Amino acid sequence: MEKSTRVVAQVYGYAICLVAVITLLIATSGLITAIIDLGDPIHAGFNFQGSPSLASFENYKLDVMKSFSKGADNSTVSYTPTDEELKAMYEAAKNDKIQSSNHQSKKSILINSFLIAICIFLFIVHWSWMRRTAKSV
């Protein structure tokens, strides 16, 4: 009976170590991605289809003007914003994207850092327990 208990304990210990290593690799990848996104929040993540580009004011203006021309009928007069209004819209959209991306990146950094710390702790505890178990046999 003692041998089967020891085998189950070894399988458990090695399984926890394996899961900790795999989780550590995944969390490290997420941490690196979040750090890179924090450095360039405008290009972080992805743009939803149909949303105007925030790469520059000229790109934003072109995308917005295209969307205004698509939505206009020939029978009605459409509203066309001035350059000042477009510039204000661009700055507001750009600031929103930066704030949203920075928040998401910082949240990912915090979560992945805690996950990495937990993985390291679990690995060290279970690996040292497995070594003590192997020496006692």
- Residues 6-35 have pLDDT tens digits of 888 889 999 999 999 999 999 999 999 999
Which is nearest to 120 in space by CA: 34, 16, 35? 16
What is the rounded CA–CA span in Å between residue 25 and residue 21? 6
pLDDT at 76: 57
Which is nearest to 55 in space by CA: 106, 93, 85, 100? 93
In 40-82, alpha helices (H): 57-71
pTM over 0.95: no
End-to-end CA distance of the chain: 15
Amino acid at 43: H
